[in-house]
Amino acid sequence: MYIHVVKQGDTLWELSRRWGATVPAIASANGINEAESLVIGQSLIIPIRMTEHRVRYGESLWSIAQLYGLTLADLIAANRLGNPALIQPGQIIQLPAASKPVIEVNAYTQKFGEPGVQLIHQAGPALTYLSPFSYRVQGDGSMIGLDETDLIAAAYGQRAAPMMVISNFEDGTFSPDIAHALLTDSNARQRLIGGILSIMQQKGYKALNVDFEYVPPADRELYNQFLEQLVASLRPRGYLVSTCLAPKLSFDQAGTLYEAHDYAAHGRIVDFVILMTYEWGWSGGPPLAVAPLNEVVKVLNYALSVIPARKVIMGMPLYGYDWTLPYVKGNEWAPTVSPVAALETARVYGGEIMYDNEAQSPYFYYYDRQGREHVVWFEDARSVQAKLSIVKSYKLRGISYWVLGVPFTQNWTVLMENFTVKKFELSSE
């Protein structure tokens, strides 16, 4: 696999001649129409096996590794480089066959019924877990349920283990009041645990994911104790337990989103954690990359100081946002856009895609038909490859996607080129 950045005059036909890959193969790897025009700055996966690379001006060994889905260590070892910083334009770099570590892959879904089933059929081969979002916990330990039986059946058909998600989500946000009422009432906690066990046994869930957000900071220890109770009840029955963690940089990071999420305790108690490493750029905030790699790495560095890498799953977004400029706090929120929709917008309005090397994320500006300026931050093959390279180098347990239903063929192509996805031998009994 090679990632090509489109330049003026590039066409699929010309690229197929240059690289020796067919037009249908390039179109399929990228999920695009063979007849559509390309956008300057667009990234394209070229599905070929390269054995060497001639260094160009401005390239580093790290940037070359990104182009081919390799790690820096792979290239250094294959070329016996004493000082990797001292490569020269024109130098030939040997490209080893990329190794494919085994990882676990989770994806959340908010699509139910036939649309949700179709999404599982499409993404299922790349999933270890399928997580319907979500059973909504109430303060008395009861739950507002889901009609997800058909999703679970589809997940079994793809050998993707269904993971039950419980949350304190209510009326479009996460409720600290629900979390507090539950955690401070021992009877409510026992009622909830009993309800979880009943649903998991009845519906065939294999794992549990606890997504409690904005838990009052004073309830941190109660939250930890609740997780210990959950694990004591579920693990002897063969169920895995996981939690979602806000993206923290230190134990004492201030803010209701962070303070009750005790990384070290979760890492000790549960089977694995899912780091919510996205939403730096969010719908109501100023324009930023959704998951800037420089910020994601800071979170990982803290997480790995207190949690074993084998228990860490890194969150990845499948979406971006389109902000109207100038950004004014409290004004119209930015709509979510898929990478496919972002490219179409750039194509229609003449946007040229740029790439932020620090954030490892693409973006572009355009003017709409009313003359308003916009900026769009989204994901592409390059940003996905950069994140997956970090997963490799940090030897993480895996990745977790928010959320299925966002068209992004490149993501799945890059994922399967980099990793072998772990599958469980599933039985509904």
Nearest-angstrom CA–CA distance, 202 and 223: 26
Do residues 411 and 388 lie in contact, with contact meaning Cβ atoms separated by under 8 Å?
A: no
Question: Omega before 215 cis (within 30°)?
Answer: no
Q: What pLDDT does 429 receive?
A: 57
Amino acid at 275: L
Q: What is the DSSP letter of 99?
A: P
Backbone phi and psi for residue 173, each to the nearest 5 degrees, phi listed first: -150, 175
The segment(s) of the chain belonging to CATH 3.20.20.80 are 102-318+387-421
CA dihedral 87, 88, 94, 100 (to 10 degrees): 50
List, in order, residues 6 or more apart from 240 with CB less than 8 Å away.
163, 206, 207, 208, 234, 271, 272
Q: What pLDDT does 280 receive?
A: 98
Q: Which CATH architecture has domain 102-318+387-421?
A: Alpha-Beta Barrel (3.20)
CA dihedral 127, 317, 307, 268 (to 10 degrees): -60
| Residue spans of the chain under pLDDT 50 | none
- pTM, two decimals, is 0.94
How many helices (H) and strands (E) the chain has is answered by: 15, 22
Q: What pLDDT does 272 receive?
A: 98
Per-residue burial over 294-320, b if 16 or more Cβ lie within 10 Å, else e, is: ebbbbbbebbbeebeeebbbbbbbbbb
Q: Which CATH superfamily is domain 2-94 in?
A: LysM domain (3.10.350.10)
* Overall residue count recorded for the chain in this entry: 429
List of E strands, 51-124 = 52-54, 92-94, 102-109
Do residues 167 and 212 lie in contact, with contact meaning Cβ atoms separated by under 8 Å?
A: yes
Nearest-angstrom CA–CA distance, 164 and 341: 31
Q: What pLDDT does 99 receive?
A: 74
Backbone phi and psi for residue 297, each to the nearest 5 degrees, phi listed first: -65, -35
The segment(s) of the chain belonging to CATH 3.10.350.10 are 2-94
Catalytic residues: 213
Q: What pLDDT does 20 receive?
A: 92
Comparing C-alpha atoms, which of 233, 231, 234, 212 is closest to residue 223? Answer: 212
Q: What pLDDT does 428 receive?
A: 61
Report strand pairing: 320-324 vs 373-377.
antiparallel
